[in-house]
Amino acid sequence: MIKEYDPRISKEYFDQYWKYTSTLRQWFVAFGIGGAVILLTGPSDLLTKIGSCAVKWLFGMLSLGILSQVFISGLNKYVHWWIYWGNENEEFRTTLCYRLAEQISVMFLIDIIADIISFVAFAIASIILVCSVC
């Protein structure tokens, strides 16, 4: 049996989703930046143990994970602002920005892909680090 749509419940679910999304993005970025900072400011022999080729891959993977999260956060910021402004300003609803924002806002696959890219990049960076140190 399908329940009747209740916008209050939908808003509650979206608010909860948004909290988890924000937290996940913060953890991803913190991990990527934190990993890079620890490697750069940690003992200098750590980077020499890893080797120059592995260091490039390590920082490349950390950077890819961070950039993926920065991209999706920026995209979500502008999409949601355009939708908000369209709800406030009826004329804005006729603009290309608003129409694009409406379409992008329901493309959840974009968020999933960004999260998978970050997760895989950070996993590869972690594996490189662990394998190089051992």
Q: What DSSP character marks residue 42? A: S
Tokens 């080729």 sit at which residue?
Answer: 53
Structure tokens at 120: 């895989």
List, for residues 5-22, the tens digit of each pLDDT value.
455 656 676 777 778 778
What average pLDDT does this structure show over 80-94?
Answer: 88
Report residue 72: phi and psi, to 5°.
-70, -35
Residue 129 burial by Cβ neighbours in a 10 Å radius (0-12, 13-18, 19+): buried
Average pLDDT, the chain: 82
Provide the pLDDT confidence category of residue 55 given band limits of 50, 70 and 90.
confident
Provide the pLDDT confidence category of residue 116 given band limits of 50, 70 and 90.
very high
pTM over the 0.85 mark? no
Provide the pLDDT confidence category of residue 104 given band limits of 50, 70 and 90.
very high
Is residue 1 scored above 50 in pLDDT? no
Euclidean distance between CA atoms 109 and 38, whole angstroms: 32
Nearest to 25 by CA among 60, 74, 58, 95: 74
How many percent of the chain have pLDDT more than 90?
28
Tokens 């609803």 sit at which residue?
Answer: 93
Euclidean distance between CA atoms 77 and 16, whole angstroms: 17
Report residue 80: phi and psi, to 5°.
-70, -35
The domains of the chain are located at: 16-133
